[in-house]
């Protein structure tokens, strides 16, 4: 065993207690709402066969898959020629498995493999890490969690509505108020491309308008012109983007050929949301929203924070064909995803995490002697039995050392067990913030700590 100075792989992170309790705070709220909305949790393995993963994320995605070396003598099934053909060819001979790149392809595989047991519509959620051999940079990691909820096997508009409500409830529970849910629809993008004279170039057209936020309107207009649009068409397009009144937008969209059915669906969607007057639903039609068009086929969503400069903290949309690539046709659905890392960053920046979750303990018990320590065994257990997060300093030590420990881990109260306390049955409870201390009976201590724990 050599003594190595240990390190972390680039682009990966440890989550220590403080960060972890904040991450758990977010995940618990997302999970609780997924369950409240009737989604059932599944988990899939980290490793998938490369035959399942490869070809699903484009050429670039294939390059970003982490491949796992076959076990044992991995070269035994390869020939000299395989090696001479280079890394890319050799890879297929020495690696059969990879780490999942997202939760959608594993979910599609799951649906196909369990199609006979699944009752459709199937509402599933999944909260697990994914891995991408991406270049690490600020806010982009090689291991990160995805939190996905999908409804497959139903075309009802209610699904889009309830996913919007789900976004709303999660951000409400997180007390994250400065955000907007942008929505758009593939049919609108298609009509826009057509009316701009770029029907045949819909994918690059959408890629361009998706860049308006980053590059500015002028640059995008220039690029669209280069694609073949004329000035009138571009002005028409930009004026639509500038329009804030939804009714006017929809009317103009009918004029450029969007089907009444789509307009009616969008109206129904907004009408249904308006019924939920007890919720602050922050949703806006944004014609320049154009994420993942090659995958999504209906309505698309993106959640953007409004008071900090950051990418989307959630997104999703409707798709027509989840599982066709695995030979099962006709499975359509709609899904959303929460961006845990970015939500964390936004909440950190806006100081939205509640004070309380930072501390892991309600009380630390300190003592002066071996006898006091042993006496405290029953006290700490008694407190825990009442649901109080109690800890006993686990060995005899100078009282100063024990208080230092208490300060460092940030405990709201310490309970002091000395000979006087043992004799009187009243233990000194010290408020570590104010320094006030008072001898109290056990039931008073429990009452005080429970009150504090619930604050």
In the complex, the smallest distance separating the C-beta of residue 288 from a second copy, rounded to whole angstroms, is 29
Closer of 14 and 436 to a second copy (Cβ): 14
Instruction: Among 275, 284, 357, 399, indicate the residue that binds a second copy (CB under 8 A).
Output: 275
Closer of 33 and 191 to a second copy (Cβ): 33
Positions 83 through 102 that interact with a second copy (CB under 8 A): 83, 86-88, 90-91, 94-97, 99
Strand 143-152 to strand 333-338: parallel, antiparallel, or no bridges (unpaired)?
Answer: antiparallel
Largest separation between any pair of C-alpha atoms in the chain: 92
Give the number of other Cβ atoms within 10 Å of residue 118's Cβ. Answer: 16
Closer of 35 and 254 to a second copy (Cβ): 35
Binding of a second copy by 156 (CB under 8 A): yes
Instruction: Among 25, 101, 110, 296, indicate the residue that binds a second copy (CB under 8 A).
Output: 110
Binding of a second copy by 254 (CB under 8 A): no
Closer of 61 and 197 to a second copy (Cβ): 61
Residues 6+ apart with CB under 8 A from 331: 108, 111, 152, 153, 321, 322, 323, 324
Closer of 184 and 323 to a second copy (Cβ): 323
Beta-carbon-side half-sphere exposure of residue 448 (alpha carbons within 13 Å): 19
Binding of a second copy by 291 (CB under 8 A): no
Binding of a second copy by 37 (CB under 8 A): yes
Asked if 91 and 98 count as a contact pair (C-beta separation under 8 A), the reply is no
Asked whether the bond before 121 is cis by omega within 30 degrees of 0, the reply is: yes
Instruction: Among 25, 30, 104, 159, indicate the residue that binds a second copy (CB under 8 A).
Output: 159
Positions 318 through 337 that interact with a second copy (CB under 8 A): 324-327
Positions 373 through 412 that interact with a second copy (CB under 8 A): 373-374, 377-378, 380-381, 384-385, 387-396, 405, 408-409
Report long-range pairs for 19-22 (Cβ below 8 Å, ≥24 apart). Answer: 21/357, 21/358, 21/360, 22/344, 22/347, 22/348, 22/353, 22/357, 22/358
Binding of a second copy by 304 (CB under 8 A): no
Instruction: Among 79, 114, 306, 424, indicate the residue that binds a second copy (CB under 8 A).
Output: 114
Residue by residue, DSSP assigns 149-180 as: EEEES---THHHHHHHHHHHHHHHHTT--SEE
Positions 166 through 195 that interact with a second copy (CB under 8 A): 169
Element (H, E) at 74: none
Binding of a second copy by 295 (CB under 8 A): no
Closer of 23 and 291 to a second copy (Cβ): 23
Binding of a second copy by 151 (CB under 8 A): yes
Q: Is 65 helix (H, G, I), strand (E, B) or coil?
A: coil
């Amino acid at each position: 065993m050599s003594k190595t100075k240990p390190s972390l792989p680039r682009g990966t992170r440890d989550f220590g207690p403080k960060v972890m309790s904040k991450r758990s705070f977010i995940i618990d709220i997302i999970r609780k709402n997924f369950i409240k909305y009737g989604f059932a949790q599944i988990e899939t393995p980290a490793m998938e066969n490369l035959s399942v993963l490869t070809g699903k994320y484009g050429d670039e995605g294939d390059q970003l898959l982490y491949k796992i070396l076959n076990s044992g003598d991995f070269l035994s099934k390869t020939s000299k020629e395989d090696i001479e053909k280079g890394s890319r060819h050799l890879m297929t001979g020495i690696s059969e498995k990879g780490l999942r790149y997202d939760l959608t392809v594993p979910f599609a595989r799951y649906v196909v493999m369990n199609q006979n047991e699944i009752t459709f519509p199937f509402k599933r959620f999944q909260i697990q890490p994914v891995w991408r051999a991406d270049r690490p940079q600020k806010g982009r990691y090689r291991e990160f969690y995805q939190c996905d909820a999908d409804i497959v096997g139903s075309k009802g508009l209610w699904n889009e509505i309830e996913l919007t409500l789900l976004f709303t409830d999660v951000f409400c529970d997180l007390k994250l108020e400065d955000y907007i849910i942008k929505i758009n629809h593939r049919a609108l993008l298609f009509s826009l491309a057509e009316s701009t004279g770029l029907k045949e170039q819909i994918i690059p057209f959408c890629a361009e308008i998706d860049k308006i936020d980053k590059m500015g309107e002028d640059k995008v207009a220039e690029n669209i012109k280069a694609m073949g649009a004329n000035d009138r068409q571009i002005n028409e397009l930009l004026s639509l983007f500038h329009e804030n009144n939804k009714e006017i937008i929809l009317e103009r969209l009918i004029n450029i050929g969007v089907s009444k059915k789509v307009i009616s669906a969008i109206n129904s969607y907004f009408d249904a949301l308006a019924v939920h007057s007890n919720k602050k639903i922050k949703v806006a039609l944004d014609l320049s929203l154009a994420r993942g068009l090659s995958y999504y086929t209906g309505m698309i969503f993106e959640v953007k924070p409004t008071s900090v400069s950051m990418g989307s903290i959630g997104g999703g949309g409707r798709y027509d064909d989840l599982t066709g690539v695995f030979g099962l046709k006709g499975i359509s659905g709609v899904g959303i995803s929460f961006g845990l890392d970015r939500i964390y960053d936004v909440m950190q920046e806006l100081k939205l995490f509640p004070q309380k979750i930072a501390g892991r303990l309600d009380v630390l018990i300190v003592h002066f002697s071996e006898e006091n320590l042993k006496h405290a065994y029953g006290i700490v257990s008694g407190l825990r039995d009442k649901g109080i997060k109690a800890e006993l300093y686990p060995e005899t030590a100078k009282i100063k050392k024990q208080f230092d420990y208490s300060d460092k881990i940030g405990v709201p109260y310490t309970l002091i067990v000395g000979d006087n306390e043992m004799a009187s049955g009243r233990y000194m409870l010290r408020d570590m913030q104010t320094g006030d201390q008072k001898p109290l009976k056990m039931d008073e201590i429990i009452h005080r700590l429970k009150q504090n724990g619930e604050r």
